[in-house]
Structure 1
Amino acid sequence: MVYPGRKSSGCLLCRERKIKCDERQPGCRRCETYRTPCPGYKRPLEVRPYFAPGNAIHVEGSEPTALRMQSIADVIGNSPLSPSSTGKLNFLQDESLMNYFLTQYSVPCRPGIYSGHLEFLPDLLASSSPTSPLWPATCALANLVLSRRYKSPDLYERARKSYGCALWSLNDNLSQVPDTWQDDTVAAIMLLHQIEVSRQQLHKLYLH
């Protein structure tokens, strides 16, 4: 196994910019040079996935992640998306997996430095209905990203199932309110498009 090296321990901004940080407290000199408030040294959630009997997927986290949203596990657990999916599709029952995805891939915008990425997602999830298509779409993207990172066919299969459920939920949502495009509906479509763009790349990955 190749040793990946020491994990970066710089401030959040230096880590995002991929530059060396002197780790001065309370703020680093790099941020001072750029006349930008140093965001600090909060570590993102670190996880190590392992597979328990029955193909259940668990995630171990080094620290809890503060999110302005209700318990994701509770919301998903109480949200059957279709009769056919009951008992067949276990969404991200471990809240730390979703927290990990949002911590790593929902990047707030810093004007003049870098644009954000999915920065709207945590708050939009918190305000969305448990039956919103945004939930399974986010689950699908989270599993897809982690399947690519860990080269896990099991996570990829979970992503495919979540993707199918998201399509079902989106179709049901649009059929009920065809003249209304809510923010969570638009966001779900955007996430599903992002998944579709990556689908061919992942397919090639698992063929090798």
Structure 2
Amino acid sequence: MVYYGALSKGCQRCRQRKIKCDQRRPGCLKCEKAKTPCPGFRNLNDVMFRDESLRIIKRVRKTYDDNAPLEQRAPLIVHNAVPTVQLQSNGSDGATTADSPRVPRVLPLPIIEMAANFFFAKYTCDEPPLSSDFFSWLAKMYNQNQPNYAFRAVIEATGMAGISNVNYAPEIASKAKERYVEALAATKQALNNPHESVSDATLVTVINLGIFEFITFEDWDLYHSWSAHLDGATALLQLRGQEQFNHERGEQLFAQFRSQLLYACLQQDLAPPQALRELHQDFRGSIRGKPRMTVKPGQMIDISYRLLDLRAAIKNGDMTDHDAILDVAIQMDNDLKSWRASLPPVWAYATVDAHDIPAGSYFGGKQHVYSSPYIAQVWNNWRTQRILVNRIIFDHQPPYDTASRSQEYFLLSLIQELSVEICISAPNFLGKPRSTTLIWPLLVVAQEPLNLYNERSWATEVLRHIGSVMGVRRASLLADDISRTIIRPKYHTVHNFRNL
């Protein structure tokens, strides 16, 4: 999906009259004063973005055509990545909501076919840190009916789950769960085979079982389901040994899994498990890992481990001395600043005025220009870690005096500045598979009470958008939880999601 310009969030009557609408629900104040029934509001998600998934789908189809043996199951015939559905309107202008009564959907393609299309369009890509070869391998595996039945099943389950989340389709969600159960059974069978249990196909299947749990997340009490798949993937990685890091695919599978696990640790303020640290050391000593140690900029992963360790130690009461905590946090912040100083010119980005798009379409009327989407993603990881580190420094400042007040103001300004940078970067990701990498940075911005209402509300609404467009229920759940904690000031200029 690609952004198609800023659109009015006003009711139908105010839009037709071209007057400002206060957007009060269920009816606006202008209509009430005019003693006219308010016609309601349209769903901007239906008109704000265009689907650009066809390019990726064509790539999948090409891989099928090039690699599928004729004797195997017929290749997937791709028409469109996102199903056309009919939803009940709750207003005269056709607006829909998640609370609309359930009605039958019109599904023009077989649901299994749509599910695979949706998965490849929304949840994987051929850009760094992955590769076009990795993408082609996934597509080829999906096209093979045997021996990769478990992988096929989890791809289809995940795709159906995403479609059901986007379209509020419980009947598709039910089919997704049925397919997920089949994928679990097939995976257990593969794990009982000594050869298949350590294969790339089995590992990527377990990783995608975790993705299914991630996008279908309904309740924090069910968090253990997702973490169980992460534990299973950790055990598989250990079983595969250091040899897995001698080829590119093994490295990419490890990096994909590591991102999931570190995100889980962040959510729960947990230290990274020892097994992950050992795997990381194995990777460093591997054929592919050793050259990484000399590449500039260096990886931030070591700082990530240290940050998670510090947060866990503070939460558990293992570290209580303010001076000791400050020493560790300040050293981490210095290392993060050194990382930035080591960047080659290609990593530089520009912040420019958004002159060529409708006014207010980007946060603060600004946009970032990066040399690649991957570089934009890494920058946001760096910003997020600096926010978390400097918040720890802020919380453990010595008692008030002139110097500490000055330092506190500096830290407050830095955290807000980094948060604004994350907000400005958001449109570079939206509607693309990489948009899920925004969830962690946006979560940190939205939850940070030192941030202004503008930044927090913006980040919350972008999370909600990711949930509704990408079919990631966890993003929507986070947005709902955070929105209940943000208090809108009585007098404040507010950016809202119409300005994306």
Deviation at 1:186, TM superposition (A): 1.3
Q: TM-score, normalised by structure 1?
A: 0.51
* Residue of structure 1 in register with 2:84 after alignment: 48
Deviations 1:21-67 (A, max 9, x none): xxxxxxxxxxxxxxxxxxxxxx974431469xxx9976337xxxxxx
* Residue of structure 1 in register with 2:123 after alignment: 105
* Counterpart-to-counterpart distance in 2, 1:146 and 1:46: 7
Q: For 1:1-208, what aligned pairs fall within 5 Å after superposition? A: 1-4=42-45, 5-8=47-50, 45-49=81-85, 59-60=107-108, 92-93=111-112, 95-109=113-127, 111=128, 119=135, 120-127=137-144, 129=146, 132-175=149-192, 177-180=193-196, 181-199=198-216, 201-203=217-219
| Unmatched tracts of structure 1, length 5 or more | 14-42, 62-72, 74-91
* Counterpart-to-counterpart distance in 2, 1:185 and 1:147: 26
Greater helix content: 2
Amino acid at match of 1:103: A
Deviation at 1:3, TM superposition (A): 4.0
* Counterpart-to-counterpart distance in 2, 1:97 and 1:153: 15
Amino acid at match of 1:167: L
Q: Check the 8 A contact 1:44/1:104 in 2, yes or no.
A: no
| Secondary structure in structure 1 of the residue aligned to 2:149 | coil
* Counterpart-to-counterpart distance in 2, 1:183 and 1:116: 15
CA distance 1:147–1:202, shift in 2 (3 Å): farther
CA distance 1:153–1:45, shift in 2 (3 Å): closer
Question: Quick check: which has more Rg, 1 or 2?
Answer: 2
Deviation at 1:185, TM superposition (A): 1.4
Q: CA RMSD in A?
A: 4.1
CA distance 1:56–1:186, shift in 2 (3 Å): farther
CA distance 1:50–1:136, shift in 2 (3 Å): farther
| Unmatched tracts of structure 2, length 5 or more | 1-41, 56-78, 88-102, 221-472, 481-500
Deviation at 1:171, TM superposition (A): 1.3
CA distance 1:183–1:50, shift in 2 (3 Å): farther
| Secondary structure in structure 2 of the residue aligned to 1:129 | coil
Q: Check the 8 A contact 2:119/2:156 in 1, yes or no.
A: no
* Counterpart-to-counterpart distance in 2, 1:134 and 1:9: 26
CA distance 1:49–1:187, shift in 2 (3 Å): farther
Q: TM-score, normalised by structure 2?
A: 0.24
Q: Check the 8 A contact 1:144/1:195 in 2, yes or no.
A: yes
Q: Check the 8 A contact 1:60/1:96 in 2, yes or no.
A: no
Amino acid at match of 1:2: N
Deviation at 1:145, TM superposition (A): 1.1
CA distance 1:182–1:154, shift in 2 (3 Å): same
